[in-house]
Amino acid sequence: MSKILVTGGAGFIGSNFIRYILKKYPEDTVINLDKLTYAGNLNNLKDIEGNANYKFIKGDIAEERTVKKVFRFNRPDVVVNYAAETHVDRSIIDPAAFVKTDIIGTYNLLEAIKEFGTAKYVQISTDEVYGSLKSGKFTEESPFEPNSPYSASKAGGDLLCRSYSKTYGLPVIITHAVNCYGPYQYPEKLIPLFITNLSESKKVPVYGNGANVREWLYVLDHCSAIDFLLHKGESGQSYNIGSGVEKQNSITIDLQPNPMICATLWR
């Protein structure tokens, strides 16, 4: 029986994770701390809002007082940090929000754990910290080569996590996952954006010739990987999470006849 603090639980992966945990471990309690930015939506958790083992707190992890207060009054056993600014294009327009949440927010969580203690802290990060691949696969030893303010701010948060593990012995696990897909994703991201645009017969934005290759992971597989690491992961380690399923971004659209939209997102 654990008390789990999930930050950013009203977003895409966080809301799937909360639902997953409450279903699999009905004895556990989940506290969801979320600022409710444009990407956070409490409707993502409508079906569990009445669950006695679930509590929502609206708050910003970039505010030290808020974070300390949440720890002081709730004393979580473990923390899983999904709270982040996550959209690459937005990070190019407004990097400040990314630095605040992904770096200062992570720092505040680490400081709170240093003060109050938890059995584990899982920093949810992205394989984008490794940059672009020409060939082969990233490993946990690959160097950080972030290419956008988004991936740079995530890398900054990850490095702080590593340092708090090495310096203060905090029980930190860092995960670097590939692109996720599934329900409750904000429709600015590739798959929901393409589906919503195509269903309204609108154009879809494809960078370059669409030949970029991405690896895709179903969101509940991501949740089960985090569940596994919460129970079996080794503190002080970082883990890459993937599916092995790589697809090109290229699309084929056939608006005729009917008009039927046939979108092959991958080949």
Ligand X SMILES: NC(=O)c1ccc[n+]([C@@H]2O[C@H](COP(=O)([O-])OP(=O)(O)OC[C@H]3O[C@@H](n4cnc5c(N)ncnc54)[C@H](O)[C@@H]3O)[C@@H](O)[C@H]2O)c1
Residue 24: CB minimum distance to ligand X, A:
19
> Please, which of residues 119-138 interact with ligand X by CB under 6 A?
124-126
Give a three-class secondary structure readout of the chain.
CCEEEEECCCCHHHHHHHHHHHHHCCCCEEEEEECCCCCCCHHHHHHHCCCCCEEEEECCCCCHHHHHHHHHHHCCCEEEECCCCCCHHHHHHCHHHHHHHHHHHHHHHHHHHHHHCCCEEEEEEEHHHHCCCCCCCCCCCCCCCCCCHHHHHHHHHHHHHHHHHHHHCCCEEEEEECEEECCCCCCCCHHHHHHHHHHCCCCCCCCCCCCCEEEEEEHHHHHHHHHHHHHHCCCCCEEEECCCCEEECCCCEECCCCCCCEECCCC
Residue 125: CB minimum distance to ligand X, A:
6
Q: Which is nearer to ligand X, 8 or 171 (CB)?
A: 8
Q: Which stretch binds ligand X (CB under 6 A): 10-18, 71-79, 130-138, 243-251?
A: 10-18
Two structure tokens written together for 216: 């895709």
Among 54, 71, 82, 130, binds ligand X (CB under 6 A): 82
Among 105, 149, 182, 233, binds ligand X (CB under 6 A): 105
Active-site residue (options: 127, 130, 164, 184): 127
32 neighbors 54 (Cβ within 8 angstroms): yes
d(CA 210, CA 8): 31
Q: Does 90 bind ligand X (CB under 6 A)?
A: no
Q: How many CB atoms lie within 10 A of CB 38?
A: 10
Among 4, 21, 37, 233, binds ligand X (CB under 6 A): 37
> Please, which of residues 177-196 interact with ligand X by CB under 6 A?
177, 179-180, 186
Q: Which is nearer to ligand X, 164 or 184 (CB)?
A: 184
Among 3, 28, 36, 250, binds ligand X (CB under 6 A): 36
Active-site residue (options: 34, 85, 102, 128): 128
Active-site residue (options: 130, 150, 164, 184): 150
> Is 150 noted as a catalytic residue in this protein?
yes
> Please, which of residues 14-33 interact with ligand X by CB under 6 A?
14
Residue 198: CB minimum distance to ligand X, A:
20
Residue 27: CB minimum distance to ligand X, A:
25
Site residues, ligand X (CB under 6 A): 7-8, 10-14, 34-37, 39-40, 60-62, 82-86, 101, 105, 124-126, 154, 177, 179-180, 186
Q: Which residues are catalytic?
A: 127-128, 150
